[in-house]
């Protein structure tokens, strides 16, 4: 009954932490492609090839349902995977839709035509590859009209977080928020479009100010996954063991992951 969580590195651990708290009886297999992180500076073909390779490994681990807890992979690879690569008895879902459902106040499965919503000005903070894909804007357009999105490419933030350089990460976040505000001085809401960003969420909140609603993914994805599995319990795969898999050095990745989640995490070679 295992569910797979795929990420380019360690950011998806923020999602894993939320979903394990929401679904404590479900074993999760986490795959971190740490040997190739970050994805945010790679081209779409490279991202697609790396993502399918990782998802195949999760299928092999007994996961019929895989969550791409990497926004870059969701933006650059998910649609292509769903259109022709994913086997009929498997499912691969991304992390954009739960964000957009919350932003537009739509329930899961609401396929009614796009309509006007309360939020009019949205700031999107994401990796360069996610921003260039315009996947967030495309998914939003399916559900809402009249929403102005200003996207800010946050180069360097993922690298700083992965390296554990909190001072550099904070400086970069504040610089990117300042750059966004020069283009959109008064956003109604801000979307943290990378699963690494919850680790510096308080910096984003402080830099944006108290009047901006900040949407972060882990809890939204956990709620959406619980809803999905209630509707589709047959998508719980045959796997029974929780695992942490990495393409990187298991010892180094385990050490960083333990720092991230503040509990012992032991990765095995993928």
What pLDDT score was predicted for residue 105?
A: 84
Domain annotation for the chain: domains and CATH numbers: 3-94+218-269 (3.40.50.1860), 97-216 (3.40.50.1860)
* Mean pLDDT of the region 186-203: 94
DSSP string over 191-218 = EE-STTGGGGHHHHHHHH-TTSEEE-HH
What pLDDT score was predicted for residue 101?
A: 87
Please give the C-alpha separations between residue 239 and each of 59, 68, 134, 197, 198, in angstroms, as whole numbers: 9, 18, 35, 30, 29
Indicate if the pLDDT at residue 109 is higher than 80.
Answer: no
Catalytic residue among 194, 200, 215, 221: 194
Told to judge if 194 belongs to the known catalytic residues of this protein, a careful annotator would answer: yes
Indicate if the pLDDT at residue 137 is higher than 90.
Answer: yes
What pLDDT score was predicted for residue 108?
A: 63
pLDDT tier at 106, thresholds 50, 70, 90: confident
pLDDT tens, 62-83? 999 999 999 999 999 999 999 9
In the block, which residue shows the tokens 């209630």?
230
* Mean pLDDT of the region 236-248: 92
Told to judge if 63 belongs to the known catalytic residues of this protein, a careful annotator would answer: no
What pLDDT score was predicted for residue 96?
A: 85
Can you give the pTM of this predicted structure?
Answer: 0.89
* Greater pLDDT, 99 or 50: 50
Q: In the structure encoding, which two tokens stand for residue 251, read together?
A: 């010892």
Q: Are 214 and 189 in contact (CB under 8 A)?
A: yes
Phi (first) and psi of residue 177, to 5 degrees: -65, -40
What pLDDT score was predicted for residue 259?
A: 84
Catalytic residue among 29, 67, 69, 70: 70
Q: Are 231 and 49 in contact (CB under 8 A)?
A: no
């Amino acid at each position: 009954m295992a569910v797979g969580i795929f990420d380019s590195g360690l950011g998806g651990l923020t999602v894993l932490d939320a979903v394990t708290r929401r679904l404590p009886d479900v074993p999760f297999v986490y795959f971190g492609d740490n040997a190739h992180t970050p994805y945010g500076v790679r081209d779409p073909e490279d991202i697609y090839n790396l993502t399918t390779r990782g998802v195949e490994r999760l299928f092999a681990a007994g996961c019929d349902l895989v969550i791409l807890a990497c926004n870059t992979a969701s933006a650059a690879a998910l649609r292509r995977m769903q259109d022709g690569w994913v086997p009929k008895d498997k499912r691969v879902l991304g992390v954009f839709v739960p964000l957009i459902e919350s932003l537009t106040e739509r329930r899961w499965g609401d396929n009614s035509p796009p309509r006007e919503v309360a939020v009019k000005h949205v700031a999107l903070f994401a990796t360069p590859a996610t921003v260039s894909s315009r996947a967030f804007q495309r998914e939003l357009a399916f559900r809402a009209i009249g929403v102005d999105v200003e996207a800010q490419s946050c180069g360097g933030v993922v690298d700083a977080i992965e390296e554990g350089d909190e001072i550099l990460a904070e400086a970069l976040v504040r610089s990117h928020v300042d750059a966004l505000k020069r283009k959109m001085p008064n956003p109604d809401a801000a979307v943290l479009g990378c699963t690494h960003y919850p680790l510096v969420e308080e910096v984003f909140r402080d830099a944006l100010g108290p009047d901006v609603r900040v949407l972060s993914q882990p809890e939204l994805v956990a709620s959406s996954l619980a809803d999905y599995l209630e509707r589709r319990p047959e998508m719980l795969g045959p796997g029974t063991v929780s695992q942490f898999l990495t393409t990187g050095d298991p010892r180094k990745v385990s050490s960083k992951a333990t720092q991230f989640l503040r509990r012992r995490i032991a990765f095995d070679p993928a």
